[in-house]
Structure 1
Amino acid sequence: MKQLIDFIPLIVFFTIYKMDPRTMELAGQSFELGGPFSATLALMVASVIVYGGMYLKSRHLEKSQMITLVAVILFGGMTLAFHDEMFLKWKAPIVNWIFAAAFLGSQFVGSKTLVQRMMGHVMTLPDAIWTRLNMSWVVFFTLLGAANLFVAFTFHDIWVDFKVFGSLILTFGFVILQFVFLSKYINTDAATSDSTGGIKSSEEK
């Protein structure tokens, strides 16, 4: 559910970006609706509303949500200030590379990797497996950022489609691959119980 809520600002952005520009009247003021710049403004407003609402409800935002919100405000603001959507095209690559750096940094800072902190309450794995999973996210976010950058500056006509849907599909596919990997590992080793240090799901503990 939380992931769907996170997706709302992108849907708003995509919808308005794809609209043919038109002049609208509201409270005696005229403004343009449709195209990259009104879509950027809508993305910023929707992000503030969504994440602001989440913070008011739980008094907490995850670090990934804070990074995303700051990036939207920063790159969206530059896009509108300079009237150049090049700045917005850099948002997705840089955010993905920040995530990659965070996962990589967790290899050397603290007692647990970032992926272990996220999934450690679900299952218990040997340190070597946690490290492999964590590094797989480093590689994934690095490549996803590069893919976003390549598409944004090479295929202008489809970069918004890729930004909204392509990244989501790739992320979903990557998560499925990880699930398959973990399932195989659990199937072969979960039979060894606590005494052998095998993988145990949270239900087995």
Structure 2
Amino acid sequence: MKFLFDLFPVILFFGSFKWAEGHTDAAHAVVSRYLGDFMAAGLQPAQAPVILATVIAIVATFCQVGYLLARKRKVDGMLWFSLAIIVVFGGLTVYFHDENFIKLKPTILYVAMAVLLLVSQVIFKKNLMRKAMEEQIKLPEQMWARLGYAWIVFLAGLGALNLFVAFVLFANDTSAWVSFKLFGFTGLFLAFIIGQTFFLSKYMQEEA
């Protein structure tokens, strides 16, 4: 359930972009009417889908935070950070109607998470992955360190991959990047978690 909750803005971004891509004139009319005062002049119909999808993703992220606060539940630091990033880079995307800003958002988020894990583990000697998972699984001491470094490398790799996909592989195909953002990154996360589980299973059995 939490996985779907975390994906909520991404799913809405994908859905609204695909709808707007198939209804460019309608999307352009909506964006021009309701967001025209907040954008630089010269919006083209072809730019409307990513603008509309970005605004919906920003609203969805605010809704995530609002929902947790209303339920008096903790809003973790990464969600606050994600909100800040999408407001800044989404706002730049909307104002300049330039998709390159929103394309940078995943890279900044993943790299920031990797840096946070690295600094915490190396400098402050606090393994955040252990803190998050220790109640669910028991591992030998050295495996927690390996797990932390594995997530650091994985997240940094995702950040680099996003740059390649967004600005090289699909540099002129925003629609393909939007699809990869949902299905590609979600698939990679699932594959990594499943692989991690299989790898750690023998160590969890030894601890049992």
TM-score relative to the length of structure 2: 0.83
| More displaced 10-residue stretch of structure 1: 92-101 or 158-167 | 158-167
| More displaced 10-residue stretch of structure 1: 64-73 or 29-38 | 29-38
8 Å contact kept, 1:23–1:30: no
Alpha-carbon separation, structure 1, partners of 2:181 and 2:107: 10
Structure 1 residue 11 and structure 2 residue 11: aligned? yes
Aligned partner of 1:102 in structure 2 is: 116
The equivalent position to 2:129 in structure 1, one of 84, 109, 115, is: 115
Segments of 5+ residues of structure 2 without an aligned counterpart are 36-44
8 Å contact kept, 2:108–2:159: yes
Residue 16 of structure 1 aligns with an amino acid whose one-letter code is S
The structure in which a higher percent of residues are helix is: 2
Which residues of 2 match residues 181-200 of structure 1 at below 5 A? 181-187=199-205, 189=206, 199-200=207-208
Segments of 5+ residues of structure 1 without an aligned counterpart are 190-198, 201-205
8 Å contact kept, 1:17–1:38: yes
Ranked by relative contact order (alpha carbons within 8 Å, sequence separation 6 or more), the top structure is 2
Residue 84 of structure 1 aligns with an amino acid whose one-letter code is D
The equivalent position to 1:166 in structure 2, one of 174, 181, 184, is: 184
Residue 37 of structure 1 aligns with an amino acid whose one-letter code is I
Alpha-carbon separation, structure 1, partners of 2:105 and 2:11: 16
Aligned partner of 1:148 in structure 2 is: 162
**CA root-mean-square deviation:** 2.1
8 Å contact kept, 1:10–1:43: yes
Structure 1 residue 66 and structure 2 residue 80: aligned? yes
8 Å contact kept, 2:65–2:75: yes
Aligned partner of 1:136 in structure 2 is: 150
The equivalent position to 1:23 in structure 2, one of 19, 22, 26, is: 26
Aligned partner of 1:195 in structure 2 is: none
Residue 131 of structure 1 aligns with an amino acid whose one-letter code is A
8 Å contact kept, 2:17–2:53: yes
| Secondary structure at the counterpart of residue 164 of structure 1 | helix
Alpha-carbon separation, structure 2, partners of 1:101 and 1:93: 12
Alpha-carbon separation, structure 1, partners of 2:9 and 2:118: 28
| Secondary structure at the counterpart of residue 123 of structure 1 | coil
Rg: which structure is higher?
1
| Secondary structure at the counterpart of residue 61 of structure 1 | coil
Alpha-carbon separation, structure 2, partners of 1:91 and 1:141: 13
Which deviations, in whole Å up to 9, do the C-alpha atoms of 1:175-201 show, x marking residues without a partner? 0011001112233x2xxxxxxxxx24x
Q: Cα distance, 1:59 vs. partner?
A: 4.1
Identity percentage of aligned residues: 37
Alpha-carbon separation, structure 2, partners of 1:136 and 1:40: 31
Residue 17 of structure 1 aligns with an amino acid whose one-letter code is F
Aligned partner of 1:192 in structure 2 is: none
TM-score relative to the length of structure 1: 0.84
Residue 186 of structure 1 aligns with an amino acid whose one-letter code is M
Q: Cα distance, 1:31 vs. partner?
A: 5.0
| Secondary structure at the counterpart of residue 26 of structure 2 | strand
Residue 21 of structure 1 aligns with an amino acid whose one-letter code is T
